[in-house]
Structure 1
């Protein structure tokens, strides 16, 4: 059961570190810190499991900084981290709280100059933080000496094993003292980690802060179903709706990162990428710009984003679903850290929706389906109901595409023309005149001025032979014999 601790001094943390914590607004330990700090101060081996973003780094860093003897110029603590970013975050924390105590810290990571790191090692830093590959490399060349290291920490231990660092870790443990203190920490502790703990630890203290609750309580988990081609547009709509300052977008394949970045920038969403194999300077620059708000969306894979601590990160989006529930835990753990609210959104196709239901069961957490409709986030049922209502309210378009907005009826029915007068149409078909390229056949109506079926104009009403108008003389200019013949045939000419 979690202890109710109000101050770090109650845990045995000295005044110097307590004062440094207050400068950064930290005045009360988190549950994992309250449970882990006392046994670490006692020198016990510790196996700690707690949700991502609960303060695990300070839970081991504070007691170890207090135990370091700054007067001795030797490396006393080794911290192993799975990724460069997490290692450098630990270095920053070590420098922040250790420098006032005279404690030197060094980061040994791949992608950086090994020569410079070797030069700094000659200064005998007290706290060494690094990634498994680089640490093992420096140990094999005898540039890194562990015979004085009293404590070894595996941060995000399960991820170290998943990334193939198990052999490097075993080699580092063999190069250290037999009576060293071991501390393993992670949000999830798999069989590999527990197996190593059983072999290497002596009577460890098992610290579990609600281990069944693997996700932060204040983080909301949603998923949206769309077609494959609509993933990017759905992401755009999610970002526009929630309007967060910063977003991490997770993808599964490194090959697709550049394409996603280009599409997001084309839509006006400032995006940059974080590659797992980028050099140290590039990665540090991208993260620094992301933290300072120079761009809004960081597109990354699980490896690149593992262990990132972005203050105030409000939203993470799984553009591709996580590989399994443990990967989902670490992705979602980037938001909702240290008691803050967070939001985790997955974008899946209809065939992938079962993955969300599977994660929900395995993590005992509600991952709820939602739909976007007219700028609102609704349940699928509410969205369908609104679409149905809008469909009923929308008037049907005229059947005649060339009627230019006039309400034209089919054969024999009354219609209203643009002036609002009733007229009668007798189309032989419901298609428009222009549809066939010819005038429709109509019955001639008196006074309408319409054409007859022959295509000849009909006589205007009130005119014609009986109106008294003189008709043209057809015999004018004809020969005499023709005039006589016509006169004989037409008695009216006589």
Structure 2
């Protein structure tokens, strides 16, 4: 089963420091790690009934080599949004997550994707779409850091970079692609980015992408992988 994660960057209400988690099945999300993280006591959460709050990375059932990467990156305890989001994501649930910036979104996506990847399969297993090159590249960097001890291969597939380099990397085999819709669409249409092994599609800042006119490109990407899929929204 493929999962979809939709990550929304805007607050659903005008309250300045409110975060909302509203799942298709269960919830998750956050803001980007390049910004200062909010304290958990500044956030208000709305989650689906029965959602379990998991207070430590060790209790999430995360693989040992990934835990080493998480702690090595400097994390000690999951943020409030990670406590609610990671377990549903790695369980393969479809998730819609909405939260303010600075609540741990990028690291949440990174560790969840790394947990789902089988490094023995040298094909793209997770596809993360972001509205900007900077965000896609940031996600690549964080994922490489937390996945350092498990040899996960991540490639940022974005405009402004060499198409030839993208083709070379994808043909060599990567586990995760973090990219912008236009370049990702191009690589799929060239049959360089193969979608048959994708387990998870993440739309990061999905609301931002839709308002910026990426709707058709996102649809083109979505229709290529065979159903069913899991989606995650940021």
Query: Taking structure 1 as the reference length, what is the TM-score of the superposition?
Result: 0.36
Would you say the 8 A contact 1:44–1:181 is kept in 2?
yes
Deviation sequence 1:104-160 (CA, Å, 0-9, x none): 111110011101110111111001110001111111222211122111000111111
Count, aligned residues: 185
Q: Which consecutive residues of structure 1, in runs of 5 or more, have no partner in the other structure?
A: 186-494
Q: Distance in 1 between matches of 2:174 and 2:155?
A: 6
Q: Which residue of the partner structure matches residue 322 of structure 1?
A: none
Would you say the 8 A contact 2:89–2:112 is kept in 1?
yes
Deviation sequence 1:344-368 (CA, Å, 0-9, x none): xxxxxxxxxxxxxxxxxxxxxxxxx
Q: Which residue of the partner structure matches residue 73 of structure 2?
A: 24
Matched, 1:174 2:223: yes
Q: Which residue of the partner structure matches residue 35 of structure 1?
A: 84
TM alignment of 1:222-371, pairs within 5 A: none
Give the superposition deviation at 1:177: 1.9
Q: Distance in 2 between matches of 1:25 and 1:72?
A: 28
Matched, 1:105 2:148: no
Q: Distance in 2 between matches of 1:45 and 1:33?
A: 16
Would you say the 8 A contact 2:53–2:84 is kept in 1?
no
Secondary structure of the residue aligned to 1:122 is helix
Cα root mean square deviation, aligned? 1.5
Q: Which residue of the partner structure matches residue 153 of structure 1?
A: 202
- Bigger relative CO (Cα 8 Å, ≥ 6 apart): 2
Q: Which residue of the partner structure matches residue 85 of structure 1?
A: 134
TM alignment of 1:372-451, pairs within 5 A: none
Q: Distance in 1 between matches of 2:143 and 2:71?
A: 16
Residue 117 of structure 2 is aligned with which of 68, 77, 96?
68
Give the superposition deviation at 1:174: 0.3
Q: Distance in 1 between matches of 2:64 and 2:188?
A: 36
Q: Distance in 1 between matches of 2:146 and 2:72?
A: 10
Q: Distance in 2 between matches of 1:4 and 1:156?
A: 24
Give the superposition deviation at 1:4: 5.8
Q: Which residue of the partner structure matches residue 190 of structure 2?
A: 141
Would you say the 8 A contact 2:209–2:215 is kept in 1?
yes
Would you say the 8 A contact 2:66–2:146 is kept in 1?
yes
Q: Which residue of the partner structure matches residue 145 of structure 2?
A: 96
Would you say the 8 A contact 2:69–2:148 is kept in 1?
no
